[in-house]
Structure 1
Amino acid sequence: SDGSWALRLGYPAPVADFTLSHMLGWRDERLAVIADLKRTSPGRRLGELIDVRKAMMVRPALDAAFALGARAAMVSTDRIFYSGSPEDLAEASAHVRGKEQVLGCGLPVIAKDIVVDPLQIARAACLGANAVLLIAGACPQKLPSLLDTCTVMGVEAVVEVHTADEARLAGESGASLLLVNERDRETGELVVGQAISVAAALPPDATCLAGGGVSMIEQVRDLRAAGYDGVVLGRPLAAGGGDELMRQISQELWQQRLAEPIQLNIKGKAHGARGDGAGWPGSALKP
């Protein structure tokens, strides 16, 4: 009930959770892949839902994503657009905690919802999320306070933006993890190249991800060259074509590691000479 979440808001977390930041490779600049686990997705027309993977089961989907080398997973609690639920988040969090005991490393779970109220963040924290997705376009005026709530609750915030103005707002509000979505949530349109256009407006010290329509290795290369630290894959993984794409990304990382010169991208980050190229224990991202 809302009462229990409101009660949780009154008790700051004793420690902050930086599992997501660590697994996104903030120390060694490794390219990260985040799996977006969803059963349905909003279409271009009002009320339209696209069947992504209607019969998705949370635990097998998580296992498959991490086996392919994903460094984190988004799990939706939204019932209307993504056919998710709070129960999905609780199940995912419990499952990865069990995996952590076996693998010895954290497997971060990001709660995905249209967050407009601090109670939603408190609920996500109680259900075991390591991080919460905040969509800047859905809460522009509340974004600073929602970021503060994430800090108090001990979870990280991934701020989703679509435009340069939203990217600047996120930076000014103190966001350190940003996701540029090439899909316009207002229209449902996929704006190819939007992430590259927005890259110059991203905070230089932030960890930046790109998503929305990423399905080919050429897109990943372009995003990496523009300074992105990771990509979010949803439909390619659900459709069964993710194995080949993840293999190609793994190969790119290995070749990049062997490259001698350090190439500076437009955000001023050095890519190509650091990082071990390794993924999860036993994952496809091991060279």
Structure 2
Amino acid sequence: MLTLSPSLLPSLAAAVLYAAATIYQAIRMAQGAKADKRLLCLLGTFAVLGHSAALYFQLTRPDNLGLDFFGAASMISVAIIAVGMLACSRLPVENLLVLLFPLGLVTELLAQFAPSGTVPLIDEEPGILSHILLSIMAYGMFTIAVFQALLLLLQDYRLKNKHPAGLIKNFPPLQTMESLLFGFLWAGWILLSLSLISGWLFVENLFAQHLVHKTLLACLAWIVFSVLLWGRNRLGWRGHKAIRWTLGGFCLLMLAFFGSKLVREFILHI
């Protein structure tokens, strides 16, 4: 008798809801109209609930947590989407959801159906879990900042070429978009700082062989974002310079987490 994985139904439900929300919002944006925020958030909320339920079944083990490459990507994406929807309740950032919902769709399906590599088991000590949670929140906030930077880049390009209609018609003013970007960057920088501090406090050896690359790259990313925020505050950095620094710091974070994880699980099998 065929036994279905308990994560299959919530995973598929989340994927359908993410797809429906993405298609609906994309159609409204193509028409130059605003999507109904309440409907969008309703679809997103149920998608996040299904996504979270699927993750619970995918990651839990009898005595600990198993966090493989695709499971980690899925967990980060659902955290990003949850933060994005919370931000939508107070800030005009619903345009970000047209990028975030497909991210949730892809990562959840990969976590459900893609073959996993070596599955690292995570100790459930409170200090270690707090470090992991802070790292995920920091990565999620910087991911939102990157998507905001890409939308800002698109808006700037369309305005300079005198094509302000269509997709960007309902965007907030350029100055507001830039202020939102730096708000996300400040939040991400604070969370990344707390993540690094908790790592020093609770991880036995941050410079062990399997952690040294992740630690150094995360510290480099922290320096890049620190310089960017200092440049914004002291030198008034904005526009393309701010976007380049944002993308550079985010690439370092991606290498820190996903680069080392990909190599360890699928190449070295450790």
Length-normalised TM-score, structure 2: 0.26
Structure with the larger strand share: 1
Structure with the larger helix share: 2
Length-normalised TM-score, structure 1: 0.25
Q: Larger radius of gyration, structure 1 or 2? A: 2
